[in-house]
Amino acid sequence: MRLAFRVIREQSVGSTNDSAKQGGMQGEPEGLVVISRTQTGGRGRSGNMWSSPPGGLYMSILLRPALRPNEVLRMSVFSCVPVGLAIEKLTGLRTGLKWPNDIEIDGRKAGGILVEGVTRGGKLDFTVVGIGINANAEPPEDEAPNAVSIGRMLGKKVDLDELADIILKEFETFYDDLKNGTLRKEFITRSSVLGRAIEVTGKDIELTGIATDIGEDGSLLIRGEDGQVIEVLSATGISLMILGRRGSA
């Protein structure tokens, strides 16, 4: 399906997710894209802040997929695929995807995705796919010790406009697969978590085991130490650590 993108470029906003959400509330059709040079209130998952200095890519895409509210996890997890592919196309660097929303290069976080769904009358009205990439700027070491910028890994700056363009092209190419869950295979190919010993913690969960699979709904399957397989169906408030890897959470 074709997505008619309409890109709004800003110098500074609170959060591009909030700007795109505002558009969604005002009835903008899907395809609205907000890109800002900096954000003063950038948000990450689980209520974390997302440090947004100039040099990073901060963009949000308004989408209106015909999905149920409980299918937003799929959008959220599989949106990593077009972003990872775009980085690979632009730079030639191989990306890894760490469930639920991290884009990694060489095991270090180069970007993250925050998908927010807005419901109306119990139905999903729209989603906003927020993409933050450490393109030519890195967050402070004390905030994100395992982060890296693409520029550092590449040894030269990346063109932010070109990166944004390729990301949008990849979203357009894979939009149907993103909605129906068939991007799962691509996610699995790039997963930096499957087959690894991990620890998952959240409000109602504390689990150590081996990550065994990703469901079509975006869920993570973990085989616990007792052999039982647990399905993690929500990424909200969840933190995942790959055991034995240097300082990642």
Q: List interacting residues with ligand BTN (CB under 6 A).
A: 15-17, 39, 42-45, 48, 50, 58-60, 101-102, 112-114, 130-132
The CB-of-22 to ligand BTN minimum distance in angstroms stands at 13
β-pairing, 102-105 vs 6-13, is: unpaired
| Residue 220, SS3 per DSSP | strand
**Sign of the four-CA dihedral 84, 237, 149, 15:** positive
Cβ atoms of 96 and 190 within 8 Å: the answer is: yes
Helix, strand, coil distribution of the chain in percent, nearest 5: 25, 35, 35
The CB-of-127 to ligand BTN minimum distance in angstroms stands at 13
Cβ distance to ligand BTN smaller for residue 16 or 91: 16
Cβ distance to ligand BTN smaller for residue 143 or 225: 143
The CB-of-230 to ligand BTN minimum distance in angstroms stands at 23
Cβ distance to ligand BTN smaller for residue 58 or 174: 58
Q: Which residue's CB atom is positioned nearest to ligand BTN?
A: 112
Angle between helices 80-91 and 160-180 (to 10 degrees): 140
| Residue 237, SS3 per DSSP | coil
The CB-of-223 to ligand BTN minimum distance in angstroms stands at 26
Cβ distance to ligand BTN smaller for residue 25 or 229: 25
